[in-house]
Structure 1
Amino acid sequence: MLYRVEGIVIRSMDYGEGNKIITLCTENYGKVGVLVRGAKKVKSRHAALTQPFTYGQYVFFRNGNGLGTLNAGEIFESYHSLRENIEQAAYASYACELVDRGLHDEEIGAFWFHQLKACLDSLLESKDIHVVIHIFEMKILQASGYGPELEQCISCGRKSDEFKVSPRLGGVLCQSCKHHDPASYTVSPRTLKLLQLFAKIDLRRLGNIDVKDETKAELKKVMRDFMDMQMGLHLKSRNFIDQLDKYDI
């Protein structure tokens, strides 16, 4: 059967001497694997379609739910400049790997496709890279069914101005319930408000948010803890980001 889909390349790997297999995050068909014959050859007309982050239209043949074979394609946005900037490339790779590893095929629909595209667009527009990626992490948590409860105590449902964050329990605890997780910790009111905003915002409507360095540090800790406790993914792209941060590249 012939398929014509809009997709974003979230993974690209060599296959044999001259071919590549790409994984697409598509608007209507979830994640799709496509074999691109001859993509590694110098004069291949399809080579550009296999580059990471590329957004375009892909036409391929596929029998059943197996691997498709590319017939034709058209690039809508190459995101070429993201691949040329080491920091932007690292975070874009992280976003794509989150989709690839964090979501099952049936969980990816039009909304998540558009959130990934909005994430790449925001990185391309040089919006705050940390804010963008933390919002995207929040979207992945929500898509996976692990979206944290940040508006009321996850134990008793009480609203409060003095919450403690409990990544292990997946939300916030009021002062009366903090004993349920001795490892829970306090964050600044600004950080908590931003986390609540991240849970509600659509990346396609993200403007410019000015965040102080100390708030960014808290946001990174909280989101890292939520991702580790709730999803437990070990991602190569995140390890690379940690190396960038370590050496301040």
Structure 2
Amino acid sequence: MYINTTGLVLRVTDYKDASRIMTVLTSTEGKLTVSARGAMRRGSKFAAAVQPLAYSDMTLYQNRDRWTLTEAQTIELFSGVSGDVRLLALGSYVAELLEAVSDEDSPNPEILSLGLNALYMLSRNEKDPELVKAAFEIRLMCLAGFEPVVSLCAACGREDVDAPRLDLVGGTVLCHGCRSPGTNETAPLCRGSLDALRYIVSADPKKMFSFKLDAEALSRLSRAAGAYVSTQLDRKFKTLEFYKQLK
């Protein structure tokens, strides 16, 4: 069976005979493992489309549970990301997160669209990468079923939260007076970072990156977002650790 779809290459593994095995997030089939035979040979028509973070129109052939790339036309290579080692590290983190929350043969176009928008923003370099990172992390958690409840203090119900902290386990916001002594799994916020968090959760997808923060608020938001992802998914991400080393 042949299908036509669009897909973002999340991860590649070189294989024998100059071939590549790719993890691809597609618009119609979800996450797939795809073989690209001879893709790395000189003059291969697939050479551009099998690079990490390449987004392409693809024709795939399915034989039982195996998928093979038969045609590909590149749509976007995100050259602004691939040409900068720090942005490439962050783009690789975007891909690793997309892979972590996506399922085989279970399409989620919203998650793919979010990942593409984040990569476009990084490639254009019009926004602080930390802002793009944090907004992507929080919105991805929302789409993956881990949306934090941030409108009120979870304990006292106040909207004007004093010295807010994000509960990394419960996915709620707590004010200073309601935080239990000895509770370590929280991340400090401030008024600006809490307002941004509320915006990210509910914003129109097309306007999700359209906000500004001062350096302190952005730093708190970015740290809280990264910690929330790691806690909710119960894992560390090597690409994120590498990105932090480059900062």
- Normalized against structure 1, the TM-score is what? 0.89
After superposition, the CA RMSD in angstroms is 2.1
> What residue in structure 2 maps to residue 70 of structure 1?
69
CA distance in 1: counterparts of 2:54 and 2:20, whole angstroms: 14
The structural deviation recorded for 1:100 is 0.6
- Relative to structure 1, is the Cα distance of residues 179 and 67 closer, same or farther in structure 2, using a 3 angstrom cutoff? same
- Percent of aligned pairs sharing the same letter: 24
Q: Work out which of the residue numbers 234, 238, 241 in structure 2 matches 1:239.
A: 241
- Relative to structure 1, is the Cα distance of residues 156 and 211 closer, same or farther in structure 2, using a 3 angstrom cutoff? closer
Q: How does 1:1-150 map to 2 (within 5 A)?
A: 1-64=1-64, 66-105=65-104, 108-126=107-125, 127-150=127-150
> What residue in structure 1 maps to residue 220 of structure 2?
218
Query: 1:10 is paired with a residue of what secondary structure?
Result: strand
> What residue in structure 2 maps to residue 182 of structure 1?
183
- Relative to structure 1, is the Cα distance of residues 235 and 201 closer, same or farther in structure 2, using a 3 angstrom cutoff? same
CA distance in 1: counterparts of 2:71 and 2:79, whole angstroms: 20
- Cα pair 1:115 1:204 within 8 Å, conserved: no
CA distance in 2: counterparts of 1:138 and 1:45, whole angstroms: 37
CA distance in 2: counterparts of 1:200 and 1:79, whole angstroms: 27
Q: How does 1:166-205 map to 2 (within 5 A)?
A: 166-174=167-175, 177-179=178-180, 182-183=183-184, 184=186, 186-205=188-207
The structural deviation recorded for 1:109 is 1.0
Unaligned stretches of 5+ residues in structure 2: none
The structural deviation recorded for 1:220 is 2.0
- Cα pair 2:193 2:213 within 8 Å, conserved: no
The structural deviation recorded for 1:3 is 1.0
- Relative to structure 1, is the Cα distance of residues 180 and 30 closer, same or farther in structure 2, using a 3 angstrom cutoff? farther
The structural deviation recorded for 1:161 is 2.8
Query: 1:48 is paired with a residue of what secondary structure?
Result: coil
Query: 1:76 is paired with a residue of what secondary structure?
Result: strand
The structural deviation recorded for 1:153 is 2.9
Deviation string for 1:18-69 (max 9, x for gaps)? 10011211112111121001112122111111011111111011034x2211
Q: Which amino acid in the other structure matches residue 230 of structure 1?
A: Q
The number of aligned residues is 244
- Relative to structure 1, is the Cα distance of residues 95 and 76 closer, same or farther in structure 2, using a 3 angstrom cutoff? same
CA distance in 2: counterparts of 1:115 and 1:125, whole angstroms: 15
Query: 1:242 is paired with a residue of what secondary structure?
Result: helix
- Cα pair 1:167 1:225 within 8 Å, conserved: yes
CA distance in 2: counterparts of 1:202 and 1:103, whole angstroms: 22
The structural deviation recorded for 1:142 is 1.4
- Relative to structure 1, is the Cα distance of residues 180 and 231 closer, same or farther in structure 2, using a 3 angstrom cutoff? farther
